[in-house]
């Protein structure tokens, strides 16, 4: 087993957008292609998806689209452990062992749960209105994802740091009771990776309905780029790159030199229409080849199914014996 195991999960709730690409897909795949002896585990968190989405067709469709997007962007399933969470029965089984060492008070403090409760209070509803046990226990399932493979590094967004702290807490608690089985995982938040802004200038996110789909066909992509909000400055008036969403997205796709050139163009008062036209071409240049692979993959779902099953088989070669060890450690073992 390699010294470093890098693991991250992708919740399969919607169609991948540019923010997912810049913030997660592109850096993760780049890291998996670097020459190093670290192992990489990228998985589709479809059990987590059920917490947010109870529409079976959408759960299935999102799983297909997310898998196709990662493969189209260059994920190599021979190099990376690429699997679907629900294909690894040891994950929910380990989650149970972790539930049994998890103080309820720990989960009371989880941000996602606290936010839901606060929102209910603000609206004069029962605090637990529409809060499922899935939402409440989310961090325990996530800890099982991580600890089952003894991941050492977990690339995540800032919003997930608390979940990583909880995974470490649970690992420590388990180790204290049953012996040193788990490695404590470290969160990795890459500050150099941009949190992309969306059409309205807020963080690009499905919950704000301001996203640009990663693989919108060329002409649709142009329309989306044209919808990015700008101010009313006329052509010829100098514009501030550092408060502009057009510029921020430009930066995420451009070389250092191209970024400098656009910065200069802003100073010189480039028209918004022209800046957007150039931005559209830049994004399209990077994504067009992957887009073609993406649509080919969507047309061959049985091929994706095969890749995921093979990935799960490889992952279970690790997971199954380790889970056996954990079961024995807690006392669930042959009687004689």
The piece of 153-161, 286-294, 308-316, 320-328 that touches ligand TRP (CB under 6 A) is 153-161
Handedness of CA 145, 150, 156, 161 (dihedral sign): positive
Three-state secondary structure call for residue 152: coil
42 vs 20, 180, 226, 283, CA distance in Å? 14, 25, 33, 25
Member of 66, 95, 156, 225 binding ligand TRP (CB under 6 A): 156
- Binding-site member from 22, 68, 72, 142 for ligand TRP (CB under 6 A): 142
DSSP conformation class of 122? H
Phi, psi (rounded to 5 degrees) for 187: -75, 145
CA distances from 51 to 22, 113, 133 (A): 25, 12, 9
Contact pick of 145, 221, 244, 326 for ligand TRP (by CB under 6 A): 145
Pick the stretch among 3-11, 55-63, 235-243, 300-308 that binds ligand TRP (CB under 6 A).
3-11
Of the candidate spans 4-12, 124-132, 205-213, 319-327, the one that interacts with ligand TRP by CB under 6 A turns out to be 4-12
**Among residues 51, 91, 101, 146, the one that binds ligand TRP under rule CB under 6 A:** 146
Please say which residue, 64 or 141, places its beta carbon nearer to ligand TRP: 141
Q: Which of the stretches 2-10, 59-67, 198-206, 304-312 binds ligand TRP when contact is defined by CB under 6 A?
A: 2-10
Q: How many CB atoms lie within 10 A of CB 334?
A: 5
Q: Cα angle vertex 18, ends 139, 197, to 5°?
A: 85
- State which of positions 31-70 bind ligand TRP (CB under 6 A): 45, 48
Q: Kindly state whether residue 148 participates in binding ligand TRP, applying the rule CB under 6 A.
A: no
Q: Within 13 Å of residue 77, how many CA atoms lie on the same side as its CB?
A: 23
CA 249 – CA 281 distance, rounded (Å)? 12
Which DSSP state fits 188?
E
Residue placing its CB nearer to ligand TRP in the complex, 13 or 244: 13
Shortest approach of ligand TRP to residue 299 CB, angstroms?
28
- CB nearer ligand TRP, residue 45 or residue 170: 45
Give the length of the chain. Answer: 336
Number of residues that bind ligand TRP (CB under 6 A): 12
Site residues for ligand TRP per CB under 6 A: 7-9, 11, 45, 48, 142, 145-146, 154, 156, 160
């Amino acid at each position: 087993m390699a010294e470093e195991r890098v693991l991250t999960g992708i919740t399969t709730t919607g169609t991948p957008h540019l923010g997912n690409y810049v913030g997660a897909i592109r850096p993760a795949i780049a890291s998996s292609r670097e020459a190093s002896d670290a192992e990489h585990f990228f998985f589709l968190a479809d059990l987590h998806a059920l917490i947010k989405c109870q529409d079976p067709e959408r759960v299935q469709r999102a799983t297909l689209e997310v898998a196709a997007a990662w493969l189209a962007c260059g994920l190599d399933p021979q190099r990376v452990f690429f699997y679907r969470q629900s294909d690894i029965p040891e994950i929910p089984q380990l989650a149970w062992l972790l539930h049994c060492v998890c103080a309820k008070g720990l989960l009371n403090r989880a941000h996602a749960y606290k936010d839901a409760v606060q929102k209910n209070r603000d609206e004069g509803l029962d605090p637990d209105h529409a809060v499922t046990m899935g939402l409440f226990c989310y961090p325990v399932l996530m800890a099982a994802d991580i600890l089952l493979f003894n991941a050492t590094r977990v690339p995540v967004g800032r919003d997930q740091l608390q979940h990583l702290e909880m995974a470490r807490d649970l690992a420590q608690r388990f180790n204290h009771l049953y012996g040193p089985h788990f490695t404590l995982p470290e969160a990795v938040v890459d500050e150099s990776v941009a949190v992309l802004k969306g059409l309205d200038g807020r963080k690009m996110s499905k919950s704000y309905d301001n996203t640009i789909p990663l693989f919108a066909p060329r002409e649709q992509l142009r329309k989306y780029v044209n919808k990015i909000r700008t101010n009313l400055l006329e052509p010829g008036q100098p514009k501030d790159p550092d408060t502009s969403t057009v510029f921020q997205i430009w930066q995420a796709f451009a070389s250092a030199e191209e970024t400098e050139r656009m910065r200069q163009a802003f100073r010189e008062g480039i028209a918004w229409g022209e800046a957007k036209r150039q931005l559209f071409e830049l994004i399209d240049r990077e994504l067009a080849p992957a887009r073609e692979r993406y649509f080919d993959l969507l047309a061959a779902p049985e091929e994706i199914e095969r890749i995921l099953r093979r990935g799960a088989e490889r992952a279970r070669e690790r997971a199954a014996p380790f889970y056996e060890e954990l079961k024995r450690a807690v006392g669930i073992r042959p009687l004689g």
